[in-house]
Every structure is written in C-alpha cells, then in structure tokens.
Amino acid sequence: MHQLIQSYLAQLESLLKQHQLWQNEPIDAKALLSTTPFCHDTMAFEQWLQFVFIEKMGALVANQQPLPSNFAIAPMGELMLGNKSGGTEVTALLNKLDTAFGSLND
C-alpha cells in the first residue's frame, strides 16, 4: 500500500506542476499554523496539497508509518479546483487516493 500511495503522491506533484498549481517558493510558516480544515483560512487548496498533504503523507510513506484511513479530500478538490486548469485531473487522482486510503480498513 505504501508503494501505491508513493506513486499517487508523485503523480499529484507532477499534475500540480504541469498545470502551474505548484508553488516554487516556500510558504510562509505562519500559514501552516492554521487549525482550519485544509488550512482554508491561510492558503489555497493547491498549496495545502503541496505543503501539508504531500509533505505529511510522503513522510509517513518514507518512514513506513501507519497511514490514515477513510478520509475524503476529492470533494474539496472538486469545489476548490473545479475552475482551474487541470482541476478535473487533480480531482480524479484525489478520488484514487481517497479510495486507496479507504481500502486500508478492508
């Protein structure tokens, strides 16, 4: 499962870069202090994917740590990326991630 998640994270990074949704500069550290879901009050959803989701999931995978299960980030992707270039592709991949994480309880 870790290898599948690693692959999906790499694909997600690639899609974000391909559609100019990847930020090359580091994010302000204060933005990461948000307690709002998806850090919605301090960053755009694509920034959250880059600086929070990919970072945290990548660290769990790299260290062979237990992975979270049963969460859904694709609906937020649909809402926040629907009108952006590549939004449909990113959301489709988020659906695959949701499914993979959901299967951890099977």
The one-character DSSP state at 40 is T
Q: Residue 48's pLDDT is what? A: 98
Instruction: Round to whole Å and give the CA distance between 61 and 68.
Output: 11
Average pLDDT, the chain: 94
Minimal CA–CA distance to 84: which of 11, 39, 20?
A: 20
Structure tokens belonging to residue 38: 């998806």
- Band of pLDDT at residue 101, cut at 50, 70 and 90: confident
- Band of pLDDT at residue 104, cut at 50, 70 and 90: low
Q: What is the CA radius of gyration of the chain?
A: 13
CATH fourth-level superfamily of 2-24+41-105: YqcC-like (1.20.1440.40)
In the predicted structure, residue 82 carries a pLDDT above the cut 60: yes
pLDDT digits (tens, 9 = 90+) for 56-78: 999 999 999 999 888 899 999 99
- Band of pLDDT at residue 105, cut at 50, 70 and 90: low
